[in-house]
């Protein structure tokens, strides 16, 4: 490695090991902050993955697979709702689980696009007796 790469790695390593305000969230006895931090970190991972899964919407043959993968943001809706609302006690952050719920609904809807079911065929009798008269 050249000197520039070594120095940039050293800078990034020292910045990542430095104290950050997020560490105050998980101070001793503060479980609410740890729950909020877990919800945010898992959201940072799953939201980009969900957006990448929208690549399945390009082809009509792989589009139904998107409905299966809509379970990922659906699961994150449940997890973040628990972490934010119950464990974290922060009803003002309701937008986080609602974002996951909206993403799951959009993925489920897009996964169903292009799937049309044929309408039931009606039979028409040939002849002059239309509409059909008589009993069943």
- Distance between CA atoms of 32 and 70, rounded to whole angstroms? 28
Instruction: Determine, yes or no, domain membership for 129.
Output: no
Instruction: Determine, yes or no, domain membership for 117.
Output: no
Residue 102 pLDDT exceeds 90: yes
> By residue range, what is the domain housing residue 38?
31-111
Instruction: Determine, yes or no, domain membership for 40.
Output: yes
Residue 28 pLDDT exceeds 80: no
The total of structural domains in the chain comes to: 1
Instruction: Determine, yes or no, domain membership for 52.
Output: yes
Instruction: Determine, yes or no, domain membership for 39.
Output: yes
Rounded mean pLDDT, 88-101: 89
Dihedral angle sign, alpha carbons of residues 30, 33, 35, 37: negative
- Reported as a pLDDT band with limits 50, 70 and 90, residue 38 is confident
Instruction: Determine, yes or no, domain membership for 7.
Output: no
Dihedral angle sign, alpha carbons of residues 74, 78, 81, 83: negative
Rounded to the nearest angstrom, the gap between the alpha carbon of residue 117 and the centroid of all alpha carbons in its chain is 27
């Amino acid at each position: 490695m050249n000197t520039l790469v070594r120095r940039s790695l050293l800078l990034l390593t020292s910045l990542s090991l430095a104290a950050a305000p997020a560490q105050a969230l998980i101070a001793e006895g503060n479980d609410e902050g740890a729950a909020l931090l877990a919800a945010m970190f898992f959201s940072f991972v799953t939201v980009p993955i969900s957006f990448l899964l929208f690549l399945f919407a390009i082809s009509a043959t792989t589009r139904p697979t998107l409905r299966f993968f809509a379970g990922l943001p659906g699961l994150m809706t449940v997890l973040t709702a628990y972490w934010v609302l119950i464990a974290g006690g922060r009803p003002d952050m309701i937008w986080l689980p609602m974002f996951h719920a909206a993403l799951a609904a959009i993925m489920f809807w897009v996964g169903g696009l292009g799937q049309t079911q044929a309408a039931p065929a009606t039979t028409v009798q040939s002849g002059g007796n239309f509409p059909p008269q008589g009993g069943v």
